[in-house]
Structure 1
């Protein structure tokens, strides 16, 4: 096994130059083409200042250029900072500023949304260099990439992962999967999610192909869905794919991760797909993608565990005094080993709090995961939930405190809390001042709050709905009692007189909404928000896909945060004037919706 994340790819390119390396709706690259393009781009990046210890941002849509850019950055010895073009501009700017990134790789299509400040290198511009890459030394402990996760302080924090941990992760993939399993690996995770590292490099380091997909829900629309043999997926997304009967036909292996996995879904995966092996994987970002993996057998009654610790991973189940607990007794999981991250970028205090000395191995560290687990008698780990206020929602790690900090930052909000109810992220708000008197009848206030958050947070962190309270429930000690936060109201209409779909566009939209929400189209109020009628972020992705197909116009999830009901969506779709669309967006979401307006203005020609 090679000693860097990218070196095994170069070896495969020499062995199999004509084999397909990347499939996407935007084109196909062979290993030789990917090798030469990334080599030439690396030469240019080195000339512009990239090198060991230098973080280089990459803000690129999901085309082969994304893989070209990541490989090029790694070949310079630098580490890459993934920036999803669909993330709010404010969050992207924070990640660039916080990580000290001074160079950014992008494309003409994504350049307008890139943060200001770093030197910008545009992919697609002519790059010609003589063959024969200048070797760039990579110190074994060099950082390979930085992934930003939700932060309990209200600020996301960057996790710095190094090459040895990545190489160990790839060795584990090599142990678990045959080459034919990885001949077509679906790459549907956002580059800001660490699963993307495995999806790209597990294939390229074994001579397989990466199949780039916009998201897992878009799998049915991929031109190359039949090339996919390996699928990494969150359980809730798999349920959605199976419900729609839209799983790729040639999948051999399925790896679940990001959420607790239940036996019922395992049985369904075996029964309704062609997969012959189903795995359950666990791992925080701080542990380099996976720390444990279980092959879940077919036709068993036991609920899946998250497997035994992977080779090279130390796992301890400890009590509050850092004493090891026997099998069957639950405690907090601490992990150590080669995959352990350097720590958090520019966060020495937080790093010291979470990465602590290993009391069982002198000179080593271990990471406090915050997950509650217990060892089984045969050495596997059984997941039991969280010890803190972090949640996992559709595979994304969310610190509720970060959502609460953003809610409290809204001028209309005095106090706020957040919780997951019924698989949806719910915001709870005690309004401030004048807003407190009108929230009970003013749905526009809820739209203003969630609209403002959509300019600051990724879509998965924006509450599905906001519940207004006179006061937050408190425990006897005066702290927030999350368990007493009420269930959100049942899905309802906008609260005013029913306004049925009337125009051709409204009727077409109501038919799509009715299909997704199991409602009669004629009975849908055109002023009721999608979330308020029972929608969630998974259905929102399907809604964007169905609208794109029905109206022959690219619709993205951020557009659906800008135009939340059928009335505003129909007005946006019917209006061909970019300026008018911007005015509609600004009016509906008020001063806090700069990003939403930009998304609406760019939608006709965007991704």
Structure 2
């Protein structure tokens, strides 16, 4: 009988031990090996105190060891707390302390990034166990994982998801996907986001293979991209991959989530990929990955809805008094059912605020999503926005109040605000002692502020641009008027070039200017791509443009080795084709550094 998320993987491993479970640059692993190594590691964890109700942190790079570790934690009866080694130390420390984690699993490569405090178990070549041993029993109500989300108070909140919610998700996938769809599932999401649960277990619990990649921008460079049949992707990421002509060649199913999906992108996905099914999925972390979905057919017209609720989910559209509103009338979306989280870890007040009594089902709770939706006459949900200041950026959930709290925590800052414009996070800051009229800029102060935040927040929560103001605009009632915040100055990202530039630097400046919308003459060859307004999606296009311009293969991982045009030009001009020793960014704001950090030299045409 299936009680835990990992049980169905064990069944697949028993049936097909020789089948490939994981493809990655670090190695290919069979079901049998994944089963054996995770079983042996689970025994070590149990010996260290793992068991039901005990969270175990996992701080492991994106290799098969990550999957071995997650399975081992579940088989030990514990729940796993994902800790991205690229996250700032302060955030990792908070997650460990807030969750009460006392046991942490890591590898030699990631140990230096682990928070201090918990007992550390290093994942290495473990002793093989005898056949027939079973995992520590779990019950469906036990917690399977804890994932931290951005918090409006400035403190992230840990969402506790139970095994029964995960099993309901797998059952729903069986209803909407065919076996061929899950034969090769791309796993590009950070394990700190719940989409990773679907990517990993959709494959492993149904006999498919996980194609593990560093991030979505690394898809074009994966040696196993042609094995990907199922792709979960954020709309903005998909647009970037399509712009670069970088989609895997054999994708059959595309699942969009994390941002509003537009019909124009659906049409483009059908037209420019091999996909014959495109889905729009919706669901907060508190609802176990997704709670509604829609197959957006190729012959349909009109903007996609977020579909109908999953079989195991309940969805209500309610007014301020928690009364149901009729079809066609907007209201707030509340969700319940098998996928509903236990609540927030050690946050009873936040749990009571968001998880409220379900007035329509005795003894049950429902989650207040903060999303404005409308039920159509066909029973589908049409997304209409937010009731608060939570936003989604490239699929990442961000509470603007948390960013603002971090900004105002800087000693140089008196007041702060944050908004998302043109798919970029913009910070507005009133410095201590500000006295100038209108918008003004200070490069050193901007560097100090963003540098501090880069040490406290994940990359996606660090503003791409910081604008300094004398005062924040206020509405008549005295509250912040976000709509009145000025647009960032058009010339803000660039600074005058400090050198005339070599021919290669000039050519690179032209490419950067094309991608970033800047005058090449204003680009400082010492300025980092991200500081000029670039992002990880633009890196995919940059790699393709450079490959064509310089007749030399340039991969996205290569670009993570370089801070600026100057060092990049030296690499391109190096006849040996070897990556020169250069100054690496103190913290790669793309959050995807490992391909460059494994210490490998990148050779011409590799």
TM-score by length of 2: 0.90
Q: What does residue 53 of structure 1 align with?
A: 53
Checking the alignment, whether the CA contact within 8 Å between 2:439 and 2:469 is kept in structure 1 is no
Q: SS at 2:52's partner residue?
A: coil
Relative to 1, partners in 2 of residues 1:231 and 1:449: Cα closer, same or farther, differing over 3 Å?
same
- Does 2:383 align with 1:383? yes
Q: What does residue 535 of structure 2 align with?
A: 536
For 1:556 and 1:81, locate their aligned partners in 2 and report how far apart those are by CA, in whole Å. Answer: 31
Deviation at 1:362, TM superposition (A): 1.2
Once the two structures are superposed, the pairs formed by residues 329-348 of structure 1 within 5 Å of their partners are 329-348=329-348
Q: SS at 1:92's partner residue?
A: helix
Q: What does residue 472 of structure 2 align with?
A: 472
Once the two structures are superposed, the pairs formed by residues 37-116 of structure 1 within 5 Å of their partners are 37-116=37-116
Q: What does residue 604 of structure 2 align with?
A: none
Q: Which moved more, 1:483-492 or 1:255-264?
A: 483-492
Q: What does residue 372 of structure 1 align with?
A: 372
Q: SS at 2:67's partner residue?
A: helix
1:394-424, CA deviations, whole angstroms, 9 ceiling, x for partnerless residues? 1000000000000001111000000001110
Deviation at 1:444, TM superposition (A): 1.6
Relative to 1, partners in 2 of residues 1:186 and 1:424: Cα closer, same or farther, differing over 3 Å?
same
Relative to 1, partners in 2 of residues 1:556 and 1:349: Cα closer, same or farther, differing over 3 Å?
farther
Deviation at 1:506, TM superposition (A): 4.7
Relative to 1, partners in 2 of residues 1:599 and 1:245: Cα closer, same or farther, differing over 3 Å?
closer
For 1:600 and 1:216, locate their aligned partners in 2 and report how far apart those are by CA, in whole Å. Answer: 13
Checking the alignment, whether the CA contact within 8 Å between 2:256 and 2:279 is kept in structure 1 is yes
Q: What does residue 25 of structure 1 align with?
A: 25
Q: Which moved more, 1:65-74 or 1:541-550?
A: 541-550
Checking the alignment, whether the CA contact within 8 Å between 2:221 and 2:555 is kept in structure 1 is no
Q: SS at 2:309's partner residue?
A: coil
Checking the alignment, whether the CA contact within 8 Å between 2:60 and 2:66 is kept in structure 1 is yes
Q: What does residue 281 of structure 1 align with?
A: 281
Q: Which moved more, 1:300-309 or 1:156-165?
A: 300-309
Deviation at 1:372, TM superposition (A): 0.2
- Does 2:117 align with 1:117? yes
Relative to 1, partners in 2 of residues 1:374 and 1:604: Cα closer, same or farther, differing over 3 Å?
closer
Checking the alignment, whether the CA contact within 8 Å between 2:437 and 2:470 is kept in structure 1 is no
Relative to 1, partners in 2 of residues 1:124 and 1:601: Cα closer, same or farther, differing over 3 Å?
closer
For 1:259 and 1:275, locate their aligned partners in 2 and report how far apart those are by CA, in whole Å. Answer: 20
Q: SS at 1:181's partner residue?
A: helix
Deviation at 1:301, TM superposition (A): 1.7
Q: Which moved more, 1:152-161 or 1:514-523?
A: 514-523
Relative to 1, partners in 2 of residues 1:139 and 1:599: Cα closer, same or farther, differing over 3 Å?
closer
Deviation at 1:448, TM superposition (A): 1.3
Q: SS at 1:164's partner residue?
A: helix
For 2:460 and 2:348, locate their aligned partners in 1 and report how far apart those are by CA, in whole Å. Answer: 28
Deviation at 1:485, TM superposition (A): 1.1
For 2:592 and 2:532, locate their aligned partners in 1 and report how far apart those are by CA, in whole Å. Answer: 24
- Does 2:553 align with 1:524? no
1:332-369, CA deviations, whole angstroms, 9 ceiling, x for partnerless residues? 00000010000000100000000000011111000000
Q: What does residue 513 of structure 1 align with?
A: 512
Relative to 1, partners in 2 of residues 1:171 and 1:601: Cα closer, same or farther, differing over 3 Å?
closer
Q: What does residue 589 of structure 1 align with?
A: none
Deviation at 1:122, TM superposition (A): 1.0
Relative to 1, partners in 2 of residues 1:28 and 1:311: Cα closer, same or farther, differing over 3 Å?
same
1:63-116, CA deviations, whole angstroms, 9 ceiling, x for partnerless residues? 111111100100011000011111111111111111111111111111111111
Once the two structures are superposed, the pairs formed by residues 343-358 of structure 1 within 5 Å of their partners are 343-358=343-358
Q: What does residue 248 of structure 2 align with?
A: 248
- Does 2:165 align with 1:151? no
1:195-238, CA deviations, whole angstroms, 9 ceiling, x for partnerless residues? 00000001111100000011111111001000000000000000
Once the two structures are superposed, the pairs formed by residues 439-458 of structure 1 within 5 Å of their partners are 440=440, 442-458=442-458
Relative to 1, partners in 2 of residues 1:362 and 1:501: Cα closer, same or farther, differing over 3 Å?
farther
1:452-475, CA deviations, whole angstroms, 9 ceiling, x for partnerless residues? 111110010000000111110111
Q: What does residue 327 of structure 1 align with?
A: 327
Checking the alignment, whether the CA contact within 8 Å between 1:291 and 1:310 is kept in structure 2 is yes
Aligned residues: 591
Q: What does residue 314 of structure 1 align with?
A: 314
Q: SS at 2:68's partner residue?
A: helix
Deviation at 1:302, TM superposition (A): 1.3
Counting helix residues as a fraction of each chain, which structure ranks higher? 1
For 2:104 and 2:358, locate their aligned partners in 1 and report how far apart those are by CA, in whole Å. Answer: 37
Relative to 1, partners in 2 of residues 1:344 and 1:385: Cα closer, same or farther, differing over 3 Å?
same
Q: What does residue 291 of structure 1 align with?
A: 291
Q: SS at 1:327's partner residue?
A: coil
Deviation at 1:442, TM superposition (A): 2.8
Q: What does residue 590 of structure 1 align with?
A: none
Relative to 1, partners in 2 of residues 1:219 and 1:537: Cα closer, same or farther, differing over 3 Å?
closer
For 2:535 and 2:341, locate their aligned partners in 1 and report how far apart those are by CA, in whole Å. Answer: 33
Give me the CA root mean square deviation.
3.1
Checking the alignment, whether the CA contact within 8 Å between 1:3 and 1:164 is kept in structure 2 is yes
Q: What does residue 14 of structure 2 align with?
A: 14
Q: Which moved more, 1:429-438 or 1:416-425?
A: 429-438
Checking the alignment, whether the CA contact within 8 Å between 2:453 and 2:462 is kept in structure 1 is yes
Relative to 1, partners in 2 of residues 1:540 and 1:419: Cα closer, same or farther, differing over 3 Å?
farther
Q: SS at 1:249's partner residue?
A: coil
Checking the alignment, whether the CA contact within 8 Å between 1:493 and 1:528 is kept in structure 2 is no
Deviation at 1:541, TM superposition (A): 6.8
Q: What does residue 175 of structure 2 align with?
A: 175
For 1:536 and 1:68, locate their aligned partners in 2 and report how far apart those are by CA, in whole Å. Answer: 31
- Does 2:227 align with 1:227? yes
Q: What does residue 588 of structure 1 align with?
A: none
For 2:554 and 2:95, locate their aligned partners in 1 and report how far apart those are by CA, in whole Å. Answer: 35
Once the two structures are superposed, the pairs formed by residues 416-427 of structure 1 within 5 Å of their partners are 416-427=416-427
TM-score by length of 1: 0.90
1:132-174, CA deviations, whole angstroms, 9 ceiling, x for partnerless residues? 3244121221000000000000011100000000000000011
Q: What does residue 603 of structure 2 align with?
A: none
1:537-596, CA deviations, whole angstroms, 9 ceiling, x for partnerless residues? 432576699999978996686x88xx5x5468889999x999x959x95xxxxxxx8x99
Q: What does residue 258 of structure 2 align with?
A: 258
For 2:593 and 2:70, locate their aligned partners in 1 and report how far apart those are by CA, in whole Å. Answer: 29
For 2:268 and 2:14, locate their aligned partners in 1 and report how far apart those are by CA, in whole Å. Answer: 41
Q: What does residue 215 of structure 1 align with?
A: 215
Deviation at 1:265, TM superposition (A): 0.4
